[in-house]
Amino acid sequence: MLYLFGKERGYKVGVRWFLLALAMVTQPVSGWAQEDAAETQATFRSGVDLVTVSATVRDSKGRLVTNLTKQDFEVIDRGERRAINEFRSERAPLSLAILFDVSGSMDVADRTTAAKFAAFHLLSALDDGRDEAGLFAFDSRLREVAPFTVDTRALKGALGEVDPFGATSLHDAILAAAERVATRPTARRAVVVLTDGIDTSSQWTPAQVSAKAAAIDVPVYIIATVLPIDDPGSDRATPGSRRPAPLSVGTIEDLARWTGGALHYSSSSVSAYKAARAVVDELRHLYLIAFEPGAVPGWHPLEIRTPQRDFVVRTRGGYVASGRR
């Protein structure tokens, strides 16, 4: 019995379709295609060191705003305005570290199947041969399921290798995955975490992880697999559906927000699809902004603004300046 999505017939059909789709993947996960360096290299080039930040803009109705220019943005660094040296908004390849929670709690209510649904939709939304992804799993440690590759269709076959077991070091795994994807040559990169949000053994707090991920400009997107009654977007949700339990410092929702990412809920095959599409669509429409760092060493809180008052800009919380120019 699959309790995560209740007894809905649509989900049972979806499970059979999902397993059939995995069975039809015959291409091996080895022998990954080589990426085109000229196409994926999307970093800024300049004679001075620049701070690069990615930003998402939404209007008052939550819709992505995709037609802004360099003149529409203002960078505030420690209260001071910075000149924007370089700006990009064109479509470019993505690099995703897809991170599975395989702790014992994910074996309850078939959350692992729900996570695989979301991952399948994430991979389906990527451009095979252009975008890249790597699959990782964690319980008390990070494990590479399949390395980064632009052969994203082949990655779907590796989803069957993800099985739940063990304790949970959610925050530690997010940090490790962020450091992995930060080395990729693409500028539009992110960690997407598929989890129930429970952490039992991490050494790092959400605030510490978000600060480190923000410093290397890796947004963290979390797709939380929950019961329909705990999903604020479900018509079966109870009034005031609870979000992931508060931890000693912040929550996983705060962690995502502080890095410039976001939290989505998945409680059905439909919501898994919507969450996956929302993540990829947002990454497709990132604005990349580069400016010279401040002269004072240490942490620099950032604010990115637009003149339109009803626009909401989401970006990382800041960066670490070396103090050297």
Q: What is the pLDDT of residue 167?
A: 62
pLDDT in tens, 283-297: 999 999 999 999 899
Q: What is the pLDDT of residue 312?
A: 94
7 has pLDDT over 70: no
Question: Which pLDDT band, with edges at 50, 70 and 90, does 236 fall under?
Answer: low
Rounded CA separation 201/246 (Å): 15
Burial tier of 276 (Cβ tally within 10 Å: 0-12, 13-18, 19+): buried
Rounded CA separation 117/138 (Å): 18
Locus of tokens 């074996």: 107
Q: What is the pLDDT of residue 323?
A: 67
Contact call for residues 290 and 87 (beta carbons, < 8 A): yes
Q: What is the pLDDT of residue 36?
A: 34
Give 140 or 245, the one with higher predicted confidence. 140
pLDDT in tens, 60-117: 999 999 999 999 999 999 999 999 999 999 888 999 999 988 776 776 657 778 888 8
The domains of the chain are located at 48-90+286-321, 92-283
Q: Which of 1-5, 164-168, 249-253 has the lowest mean pLDDT?
A: 1-5
Q: What is the pLDDT of residue 170?
A: 81
The model carries a pTM of 0.78
Q: What is the pLDDT of residue 245?
A: 41
Tell me how far CA of residue 232 lies from CA of 2, 85, 235, 242, in angstroms: 20, 41, 8, 8
Question: Which pLDDT band, with edges at 50, 70 and 90, does 44 fall under?
Answer: very low
Q: What is the pLDDT of residue 111?
A: 76
CATH topology of domain 92-283: Rossmann fold (3.40.50)
State the average pLDDT for the chain.
78
pLDDT in tens, 167-203: 667 888 889 999 999 999 888 999 999 987 777 677 8
Q: What is the pLDDT of residue 23?
A: 37
11 has pLDDT over 50: no
CATH of 48-90+286-321, one of 2.40.160, 2.40.50, 2.60.120, 2.60.40: 2.60.40
Give 5 or 238, the one with higher predicted confidence. 238
Q: Which of 22-36, 103-117, 228-242 has the lowest mean pLDDT?
A: 22-36
